[in-house]
Amino acid sequence: MGAVSDEDVVAELTHAGIPIDRYFLLGAPGRQGIAYWHPNNGVMACAMDDHALALACVEFLKSRRAHEFRTMREILETAGREQWPNWEKFDANSS
């Protein structure tokens, strides 16, 4: 794949029906992966065979000021604070 457009990135990230605002970056800076919040499954990682597309997705999410997390605890705290769909199902402290 040549140059990756924002339209390519949005198409890749939203093809499964997950809203773009549910995507976030996970991991240490410089080694971040892409993940998203799924209402039935919780945190889901994205795997992409196309390295250029994956890098473009990371940069796109950074440009949108997507959440950046290093731990599951940080994700669950944000999910609870922002009331992500079904967050309490995955939070051991919510019961």
CA atoms within 13 Å, Cβ hemisphere of 93: 5
Question: Considering the chain, what is the average pLDDT of its residues?
Answer: 91
Residue 3's pLDDT band, with cuts at 50, 70 and 90, is confident
Give residue-wise pLDDT tens across range 30-49: 889 999 999 999 999 999 99
Report the 10 Å Cβ neighbour count for 55.
Answer: 12
Look at residue 2 in the predicted model and tell me its pLDDT: 61
| Distance, CA of 42 to CA of 33 (rounded, Å) | 16
Look at residue 16 in the predicted model and tell me its pLDDT: 87
Please give the average per-residue pLDDT across 65-78, as a whole number: 95
Residue 93's pLDDT band, with cuts at 50, 70 and 90, is low
Token pair in block for residue 20: 């773009």
Residue 53's pLDDT band, with cuts at 50, 70 and 90, is very high
The three-state secondary structure class of 45 is strand
DSSP state at residue 19: -
